[in-house]
Structure formats: C-alpha cells, structure tokens
A and B are shown apart, each in its own frame.
Chain A
Amino acid sequence: MTSVFNLRTIVGLLLLLALVLLPVYVELTGSRFLLTLFTRIAILALAAVSLNLILGYGGMMSFGHAAYLGIGGYAVGILAFEGVTTGFVQWPVALLVSAFFALVIGALSLRTRGVYFIMITLAFAQMAYYIVAGLARYGGDDGLTIQKRSQFIAPINLSNKVQFYYICLALLCAAIYLVWRLINSRFGMAIQGARSNDTRMRAIGFPTYRYKLTCFVIAGTLCGLAGALLANHTDFVSPAMMYWTRSGDLIIMVVLGGMGSTFGPLFGAVALLVLEEVLSGITEYWQIILGPLLLLVVLFARGGIDGLLGKVRHV
C-alpha cells in the first residue's frame, strides 16, 4: 500500500499493456482465435474484479455471483428478442436489473454470516437459474440466440471484433480503477474494517449492514455489466451462464489471483482461462488435472499469484 511501484503493480500494469497490444499481435499472426479467447478473459476478469470487491475486501463469501452474469446477459437477450436493439436502453436496463436483484438478495443474505451466507447466496442464484430456465418464451433451458448485438451511435460497432475487444478491455480497466478508488476511500476503509471486526465497527458508529449492502449492490451491478458484455460476445444467452459452477469458477479466479488485491482478479482470470485452454489441448479429461491443482493452491499457495509476487519483493 505504501509504495505504488512494487512488483505486483508493475506486473499488473505490464499485463494490461500486453492486453492492449494483443490485437497488434493478432493482426501480425492472423490468429483470430486468440482475440476471441482474450475478449472472453477480459469480460470474465471484469466479473472477477466485481466479486473481489465483496469477497476479497468485504469478506462476503458470495457463492452466487454468476447470477448477475446471467441477469445482465438476459436483460440484453430479452430486449433484443423483443426488438429493442439499442444499447442505450439495453445496457442501463441490464445494470438496473442486476442492481435491484443484488439489493434484494443482499438485504436478505446479509442478515446471516459465515456458512449461512455462502449457502443462501448459492440458493438465491439457483433460484434465479430456475426462473430463467422456466422462461419458455425465451428458450427456457435451451437458451436464446441474439440476432443483433447492442446498437450504439455511428463509430461504435460491437460486431467489429477488435473494437469490441477494446471496449471490454477499457471497461475492465475502468472497473479496476473504480474498485481501487473505492477501496482507498472512506467507504472502502469502512468495508475493510467490517471485514476484520464487524462488532467493533458498529461500536464506533458505522452502520455496517448498510455499508455492506451498498458494496454488495455495486459488485452486483458491475457483474451485470460483465453479463451484458458476455451476451454480446457469444451472441447467445442460456441458463448455463448462471449455473452455480460458474460462480465457483469466479471464486477460483479471485482466489487464484489473490484475494483483496488490485490486479489479483485479472491475474486469476488470465491464469485460469489460459490454463483451461492449455490443459484441454493436452487431454480431453483436463478437469481431472485442474481439480487437484485447485486443491494444491488452497493448501499451499494461500495468497494466490499476487501473494507470490508480493513475496518475491521481500526476498
């Protein structure tokens, strides 16, 4: 926190720079696949950044974060299906619906703590999953194809792959910056204080419930944005994008990268998705390697990638 230019910040900024330059590399080599993969990485990293805000800084172990991915995605999908293709309506609706959902879930869930909180967020996310799977008009279990990506004014065209990649990346950077500012503000200090000792924070006069709920809603809204992007990226939404294993993936990204760190979620998202790509290239049964690997990370590398980088500095 004291020095801005430590190793983890430098690596984080270098990674961002590499991401900015990626389309140039893709242009030179012509491997379109990389661009698609990294667009996906940028979007899921955005979701991980939002989860990190409540999980890493707020200590709220939400196991239902993928619900907002689905809600944001379906807001875009359903509006497109009903003929509203302008992004100026779609995206604000996606954000508002996610925020509202987060407000309801948060208001109920934050009454509990610990394991109860993990399980109740999980259960609410599953509830959302079943609601969406029951929407027969919008494809139900099979999902909904989006005919036309969100429309914006003239120079912005989401169907242009490079442009869409840069939009995702810009939003990711904005989210990282936003969370960083938030965490170093008075609000962020109160949230972190509530994580380490809720009773004490209340004793000195902070209404921690309201602080935590606000934080929960901000994270849900950010993740809803990621959902809207994901729907545009795949041109398709289905209940599978909010299944509980997806929430698990997001938690893995945050923990793998390093909880409660600025660039941790970015590291985690890049590491997990690139690892998936590499492992699935080696064997069809790649999860048989990923599963135990995860166990090892939990047992032996608590701080994640960010923690490892932090240690290097002290050697």
Chain B
Amino acid sequence: MTLFIEQCLNGLQFGLLLFLLAAGLTLVFGIMDLVNLAHGSLYMLGAYFAATFAAWTGSFVLGAILALGATLLVGMAVEVIAMRRLYGRDHLDHVLATFGLILFFDELVRLIWGAGGMSLPLPSWLNTSVRILPGVDYSAYKLSIIVVSLSVAGFLYFLVMRTRLGMLIRAGASNREMVGALGVNIKLLFTLVFGLGAALAGVAGLMQAPILAVQIGMGENILILAFVITVIGGIGSIRGAFVAAILVGFIDTLGRAYFTDLLRLAFTKETAATAAPALSSMLIYLLMAIVLVIRPEGLFPASSK
C-alpha cells in the first residue's frame, strides 16, 4: 500500500512535468499554428543552464531562476531569428526547419559543455524525505516538483483566462489577422508566447535535471511523450494537455511498476519478465491509438478556427 501511494505520487509528478512541456507545445501550436520539434532542445537547454548557473552561484534556487531567464531569452531569440519566418508555411516546413534546429542545438551543447553530460546536485534541504502520511515517506524534492508544477499550471490558467495578455493570446488563437487589425502588436505577442513556451520547457528541464542525468538528446525522448499528450488532449487545448499529461504520467509510471505482476497472472514468470518492459513502454502509445480511433481530434478538441 505504501508503495502504491508512492507510485501514484511519482505518476502525478511525472504527469505534471510532462504537462509543463506539453503546455508550451500546444500553446505555440494553438496560437501560431507552428509545429515545434525544437521544444525538446529548449528543455535540454533549461537543464544545462540550471546545472551551469547552480555551479557558478553555488545556490540551487538562484541557478534555477537564472536558467529560467536564460531559456526565456533563448526562446525569444529563436523566434525572432527563425520561427517568425515560418508562420503560415506548410507544417512539413515547420518539421524540417525545427529538425534543423535540433541538430544545431545538440551540436552547440556538445561544443560548449562537451559530450560527457553534467549533473545538478540537490541542496541538502531538498535531498531529504518528508512524512506525508503516517508511515509513508516521500522525497521532498519530488514533492516540491509537484507543488511548483501545480503553481505554474495555476499561473498559466490565471495568465490565459484572467489577464489582458491572456485575452490577447486567446484572441490571437481564434483570429490572428483581426487582432492585428485592431492595433495589437502581433509580432511582439508571438515572440512573448514563444518565449513563454520556451520558459515552460526550461522549467521542466531544470526540475528534471537533478533526477535524471543532464545529457545531449535528453529532450528528444520526452518530446515524443509531449507530442503524444498534445495529440491525446487535442492539439491547441491547454486543458486537454493537462488531463492527458496526468493520464499519461499515471499510466506510464504505474505500468512500469505493476505490469510485470499483472502479466505474471496470465503467463509464466520468464515470459512476464521479458515481455513487460517492452509492453509497458507501449501502453501510452496504445492509449493514443485508442483515443484517436474513438475521437480523431483528441479528447478536448480546440474550437475550430
């Protein structure tokens, strides 16, 4: 039972982290109609920046804040230099151009930080466990990821639904030309939105950095998961991304933890042990296939343009 609660919390933590990534992806797609494969590179940069700045300043929190700012700036620079020219183009052009950016960023990171990868040590006050229920201990750092992700999600909701900037963002999503015609600086708005998406990816990257190794290509595996989430949730829908991310987080984590036992009920021990790892990593793709068969536009299709 203790283990089960722990696994559920792990699932929640992973799901929330995925939400941060998927939110940026779906925001950029919903508003600019842009497919951004390089989103994973921004996630990777967030992690590298955090590791570097934390080492420089000697403070984990200060490093994280600096990394957040740096990813935001990189994101805005990428928008101004490259993305801006891609709006209104074919989706295939987006895929190719941002694929080129992935190659560029991977190699740039190798050039600057070397191929070896880095690590971001946790400060001692986070590297402990907290008693959340009688008899149940949980890592303080993972708990803080849950708290931070939830507050970021709340902030995002507030920003998009309750502020003037959010109003413009929503208006831009439904009719770009009209918002521009009403005198809103659409170029600046898009740069800001892209920067916001980059910052979200950066936050996800820097929070994941102490748990996993900081290395080249770390963004690419998780990017695919973020894509699966946006597809399940309905591309362009932040609410859909949230629901789908939690769903995928739970299924992936619990699948990895309990699938072997489940299979053992039906098959021999050896078959279960060999088949389970492959099958459990397939689960979310299976979920996506089922969702698409029933609802080809995802669970929460964004309102048609």
The interface of chain A, by Cβ under 8 A from chain B, is: 55, 61, 63, 108, 111-112, 114-116, 118-120, 122-124, 126-127, 130-131, 133-137, 244-245, 248, 251-252, 255, 285-288, 290-295, 297-299
Interface flags, B263-277, vs A, CB<8A=1, else 0: 000000000001101
- Pick the residue among A114, A291, A298 that contacts B103 (CB under 8 A): A291
Interchain CB contact under 8 A, A288 and B107: yes
- A123–B93 Cα gap in the complex (Å)? 19
> Which of B35, B102, B292 is within 8 Å of A120, CB to CB?
B292
**Secondary structure call for the A interface:** helix
Report whether B29 and A111 are in contact in the complex, using a CB–CB cutoff of 8 Å.
no
Judged by a CB distance under 8 angstroms, whether B282 is at the interface is yes
A61-B92, A61-B95, A115-B235 known; A294-B292 Cβ under 8 A: no
Docked-complex contact B96 and A130, CB < 8 angstroms: no
B228 at the interface (CB under 8 A from A): yes
* CB atoms of A291 and B104 under 8 A apart: yes
Known: A252-B99, A294-B103, A295-B97. 19 other contacts (CB 8 A): A55-B92, A111-B293, A112-B292, A114-B91, A119-B227, A119-B231, A120-B289, A123-B228, A133-B278, A136-B274, A251-B96, A287-B104, A287-B106, A288-B103, A288-B108, A291-B105, A292-B100, A295-B100, A298-B93
Partner of B278, one of A61, A124, A131, A287: A131
User: Chain B interface (Cβ within 8 Å of chain A)?
Assistant: 29, 35, 82, 85-86, 89, 91-93, 95-97, 99-108, 110-111, 220, 224, 227-228, 230-231, 235, 274-275, 277-279, 281-282, 285, 288-289, 292-293, 296-298
Most chain A CB within a 10 A radius of its CB, from B89, B96, B105, B106: B96
Give bound CA distance, A123 to B228, whole Å. Answer: 7
- A130 near B100 (CB under 8 angstroms)? no
**B97, A299: Cβ atoms closer than 8 Å:** yes
Identity of the chain A residue whose Cβ is nearest the Cβ of B38 in the assembled complex: A291
What distance in Å separates the Cβ of B105 from its nearest Cβ neighbour in chain A? 8
How close is A137's CB to chain B, nearest CB, in angstroms? 8
The smallest C-beta distance from A82 to any residue of chain B, in angstroms, reads: 16
Contact B278 A108 (CB under 8 A): no
Residue ID in chain A nearest B105 by CB atoms:
A291
**Interface-central residue, B89, B101, B224, by most chain A CB under 10 Å:** B224
With beta carbons under 8 angstroms apart, the residue of A118, A126, A127, A291 that contacts B100 is A291
Q: Who on chain B is nearest to A297 by CB?
A: B96
Whether B85 lies near A299 (C-beta < 8 A) is yes
Specify which chain A residues have a CB less than 8 angstroms from the CB of B85 in the assembled complex: 299
Q: Which of B111, B230, B235, B285 has the most CB of A within 10 A?
A: B285
Out of B35, B91, B106, B224, name the residue touching A123 (CB < 8 Å): B224
Q: Are A285 and B35 in contact (CB under 8 A)?
A: no
A137 to B270, CA, bound (A): 12
Contact for A244 among B96, B224, B230, B278, CB less than 8 A: B224
B278 near A290 with CB under 8 A, answer: no
- Can you list 5 residue pairs at the A/B interface with Cβ under 8 Å? A108-B289, A115-B35, A123-B227, A255-B96, A299-B86
Task: Provide the bound-state CA to CA distance between A130 and B277, in Å.
Answer: 9
B287 to chain A, nearest CB (A): 10
Interchain CA distance A251-B111 in the complex, whole Å: 26
Given contacts A120-B231, A131-B282, contact A255 B92 (CB under 8 A): yes
Q: Which of A112, A115, A293 has the most CB of B within 10 A?
A: A115
Question: Could you say which of A111, A112, A136, A248 contacts B99, with CB atoms under 8 Å apart?
Answer: A248
Complex Cα spacing A174 to B182, Å: 57
> With a CB–CB cut-off of 8 A, which chain B residues contact A115?
29, 35, 91, 235
